Structure 1
């Protein structure tokens, strides 16, 4: 939010975010090095064809490229039809669509009683998205946000702070807290399309 107060994300801002990403990765690797070393002896490898791995990577890259292109065209079309800015569609429709895989992975983790993985998935993916996606994109081409986006950025920051406060006061978030956050998200989507 601080970097976008001037409604621009320059190459310098992008470099700062990328540097933050490197620092975050180094911190994660160092803080979990002991756990990795202890678990390394228990890892069982299954021999697979190298060509299968390469094929899966190529297939994933192609699907990712096609999906990203379809997402951009679809989001632009929705924005034009509904009459709202592309930024609003990005923070609602596109964000919801790209978050579905994370939602599925988090639900699976919770069902398997692996709460640490669930929380780590959400927090880690958001940090990685903010630092890597915005950072690398801004270094390639500076980003300019419309003035109307500033209010939405402050709303997102406020909700993030609210979540941190909830987590500090009550680490175990129950269904009631989850419902409250879902209601807040629904209210935000309605607000974004109405205002």
Structure 2
């Protein structure tokens, strides 16, 4: 019995010494994935550009490179014979110029979001009237419409929450700036 206790004591001591001090002295650690994600989010926020109606911003994403100008917007109770789910349609008049070397899929690049700042709500666009493809060097104008509320101020965002873009463009405007008010 005495030998068994001695063996158990020896094994316990070996286990303690073997596991020993877990200090990080002399070791290096990789940044955590949370740290890397925070850095990426910070970089994206730093690249967010805020514009006013009539100003042009440049988008760079996996689809290509293009300039976007939001000229004006209207508030409509109906658009193309459709009634809104919320109160009105906010219809933005936009020009896109393809300054890259490849054709752009307009459906993909016009996936935008309209935030109603006062309400703290946002809606993705309901549709556009852009051509399906925008060729290199081509400049096209069209409308992007959103189902929203006719009050306060708005943020129209290109590149919202997309990992495929290198930047985010935001146009800010107030309901009083509507071209039909």
Q: Which structure would you say has the larger RCO, counting Cα contacts within 8 Å and 6 or more residues apart?
A: 1
**Higher share of residues assigned strand:** 2
Task: Say whether the fold is shared (TM-score over 0.5).
Answer: no
TM-score bracket, shorter-length normalisation: under 0.3
TM-score normalised according to structure 1 size: 0.24
Larger helix percent: 1
| TM-score, normalised with respect to structure 2 | 0.26
